């Protein structure tokens, strides 16, 4: 009741929820009370969570914040949310996001922008919460849920976490089932939690993760007790600092933050080593070929027949056209056009195939560094703190917006786990995050190290 009351009072300001499931939340909470009464508590018994609108929830609003999924209520539950409910969690509602998870500011949502609960000192200017999981990050930051699900294709868990002073982890590709998660770029998409601290993130990830036959890319590996990693010393741990992440024009406050992170880990007994990831500069351009290519293919299914919106036309081809023209927003259309272009005959080899080769090189950069004994890599999470809603520079040039993902996309391209952890405030009083990147399936080291920083 406290959370539902907080949502009803604050959501008009933040626009973090696109649907609040009052009745369902109360029913789930009552069932939870009953289990608690019988001494049958699950790991998340009674914990109220917000769910990104990308996860299929049975009989409940699931639209990926798009107009084209108008009225869509799935007849099944995603594996991630089913796992959470099986552990006793309670659903508060569905969280706003960039349309089909395409964006870095939560401004491409059909439901409008989300407002970051943080403001710069002495300023009333509205800031973005980051994206695409902007609703998840804002809701956690403003206490409108105890934790949230999110997804990360090129930074969408870590960047909003950094912008809102929350913790977000993108697990290794294959750790969490993608079944029932609306697809953006299937070879990059991975779900994970956004939480108030590292321990909460560890508990939530343990519950979200599972080996799932319904997702062929789910990896059959035991899921460790992540919480047990928290509080373990990082003494003797080798922390890599990639020199290529010192990008041109990086603001001084980001450099200072990075140095602070290095100093904290050194003080805690870690060994700091400079490393090289030589193909880093190609990650962003290659990502913005691979992700739209896969998106253009995944989004072909929205045809006005199977799901959601249908705009009538004079024949079936016209109906497709009218529906897709009305149903998709500008950014989604831009991605479909880029994706279709790079996959078309004559351009496939020059763009898509080339990007796939670059992807292999990026992955190899990380493999070499880990093979040389580095346990974890420390970088800034984002190149800046949260920026303003309707920022003119970003609106005028989509590439400016894409540059937000410069430190996060490499991790998706390589399929590695990455965590963003709050590491202090900038001069204006806005939160900044540091990112830790780990070996495949070694999320434990990320929780262990992040807890030293938080």
Positions in the binding site for ligand GLN (CB under 6 A): 101-104, 132, 152-156, 184, 291, 405
User: Measured between alpha carbons, how far is 148 from 166 in angstroms, rounded to an integer?
Assistant: 11
How far is residue 145 from each of residues 11, 58, 82, 141, measured CA to CA in Å? 12, 20, 18, 9
Q: Looking up tokens 């056009």, which residue turns up?
A: 337
- Does 156 qualify as catalytic in the annotation? yes
Residues 357-390 as b/e (b if ≥16 CB within 10 A, e otherwise) read ebbeebbebbeebbeeebbbbbbbbbbbbbbbbe
Nearer to ligand GLN, 212 or 331 (CB): 331
State the residue number with the nearest CB to ligand GLN: 156
Catalytic residue among 156, 177, 296, 420: 156
**Rounded least distance, CB 130 to ligand GLN, Å:** 9
- Does 104 qualify as catalytic in the annotation? no
Q: State the Cα angle at 48 between 120 and 448, rounded to 5°.
A: 70
Q: Looking up tokens 């917000």, which residue turns up?
A: 50
**Got the DSSP string for 27-75?**
HHHHHHHHHHHTT---TTTT-EEEEETTB-BTTB---TT-STTTT---S
**Rounded least distance, CB 102 to ligand GLN, Å:** 5
Nearer to ligand GLN, 152 or 426 (CB): 152
Q: Are the C-beta atoms of residues 401 and 104 closer than 8 Å to each other? A: yes
- Does 177 qualify as catalytic in the annotation? no
Q: Looking up tokens 């959501």, which residue turns up?
A: 11
Contacts of 422 (CB under 8 A, 6+ apart): 161, 162, 165, 166, 167, 431, 432, 433, 454
Residue 127 has phi, psi (to 5 degrees) of: -115, 155
Nearer to ligand GLN, 107 or 444 (CB): 107
**Rounded least distance, CB 103 to ligand GLN, Å:** 5
Burial of 75 (0-12, 13-18, 19+ CB in 10 A): exposed
Q: Which of 339, 291, 299 is nearest to 323 (CA)?
A: 299
Peptide bond just before 239 cis, omega within 30 deg: no
Nearer to ligand GLN, 47 or 194 (CB): 194
Strand ordering across the sheet containing 418-425: 17-20, 90-95, 48-52, 147-152, 190-195, 167-170, 418-425, 431-438, 376-380, 238-242, 271-275
**Rounded least distance, CB 109 to ligand GLN, Å:** 12
Nearer to ligand GLN, 179 or 407 (CB): 407
Catalytic residue among 132, 177, 210, 296: 132
Catalytic residue among 32, 52, 207, 296: 52
**Rounded least distance, CB 134 to ligand GLN, Å:** 11
Nearer to ligand GLN, 405 or 442 (CB): 405
**Rounded least distance, CB 275 to ligand GLN, Å:** 24
**Rounded least distance, CB 41 to ligand GLN, Å:** 34
Length of the chain: 454
**Rounded least distance, CB 335 to ligand GLN, Å:** 8
Largest CA distance in the chain: 70
**Rounded least distance, CB 98 to ligand GLN, Å:** 7
Residue 321 has phi, psi (to 5 degrees) of: -60, -50
Nearer to ligand GLN, 46 or 398 (CB): 398
Contacts of 368 (CB under 8 A, 6+ apart): none
Q: Are the C-beta atoms of residues 145 and 50 closer than 8 Å to each other? A: yes
Annotated catalytic sites, by residue? 52, 132, 156
């Amino acid at each position: 009741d406290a959370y539902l009351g907080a949502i009803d009072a604050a959501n008009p300001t933040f626009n973090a929820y696109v649907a609040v499931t009052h009745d369902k939340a109360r029913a789930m909470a009552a069932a939870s009370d009953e289990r608690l009464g019988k001494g049958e508590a699950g790991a998340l018994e009674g914990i109220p969570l917000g769910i990104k609108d990308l996860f299929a929830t049975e009989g409940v609003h699931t639209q990926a914040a798009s107009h084209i999924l108008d009225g869509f209520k799935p007849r099944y539950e995603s594996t991630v949310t089913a796992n959470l409910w099986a552990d006793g969690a309670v659903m508060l509602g569905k969280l706003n996001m960039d349309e089909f998870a395409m964006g870095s500011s939560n401004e491409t949502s059909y439901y409008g922008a989300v407002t970051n609960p943080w403001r710069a000192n002495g300023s009333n200017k509205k800031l973005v919460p980051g994206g695409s999981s902007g609703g998840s990050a804002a809701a956690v930051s403003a206490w409108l849920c105890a934790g949230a699900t999110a997804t990360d294709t090129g930074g969408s868990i870590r960047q909003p976490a950094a912008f809102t002073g929350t913790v977000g982890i993108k697990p290794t590709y294959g750790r969490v089932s993608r079944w029932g998660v609306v697809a953006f770029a299937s070879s990059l998409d991975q779900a994970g939690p956004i939480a108030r601290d590292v321990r909460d993130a560890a508990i939530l990830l343990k519950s979200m993760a599972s080996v799932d036959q319904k997702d062929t890319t789910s990896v059959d590996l035991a899921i460790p007790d992540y919480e047990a990693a928290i509080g373990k010393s990082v003494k003797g741990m080798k922390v890599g600092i990639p020199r290529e992440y010192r990008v041109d024009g990086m603001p001084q406050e980001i450099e200072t933050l990075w140095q602070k992170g290095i100093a904290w880990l050194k003080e805690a007994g870690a060994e700091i080593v400079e490393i090289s990831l030589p193909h880093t500069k190609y990650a962003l351009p290659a990502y913005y070929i691979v992700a739209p290519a896969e998106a253009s293919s995944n989004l072909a299914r929205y045809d006005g027949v199977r799901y959601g919106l249908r705009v009538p036309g004079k024949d079936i081809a016209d109906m497709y056209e009218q529906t897709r023209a009305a149903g998709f927003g500008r950014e989604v259309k831009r991605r479909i056009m880029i994706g279709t272009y790079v996959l078309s005959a004559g351009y496939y080899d020059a763009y898509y195939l080339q990007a796939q080769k670059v992807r292999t090189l990026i992955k190899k950069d990380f493999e070499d560094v880990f093979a040389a004994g580095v346990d974890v890599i420390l970088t800034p999470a984002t190149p800046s703190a949260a920026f303003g809603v309707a920022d003119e520079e970003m609106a005028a040039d989509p590439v400016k917006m894409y540059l937000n993902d410069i430190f996060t996309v490499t991790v998706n391209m390589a399929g590695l786990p990455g965590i963003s952890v709050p590491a202090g405030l900038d001069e204006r009083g806005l939160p900044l995050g540091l990112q830790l990147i780990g070996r495949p399936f070694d999320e434990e080291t990320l929780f262990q190290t992040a807890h030293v920083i938080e």
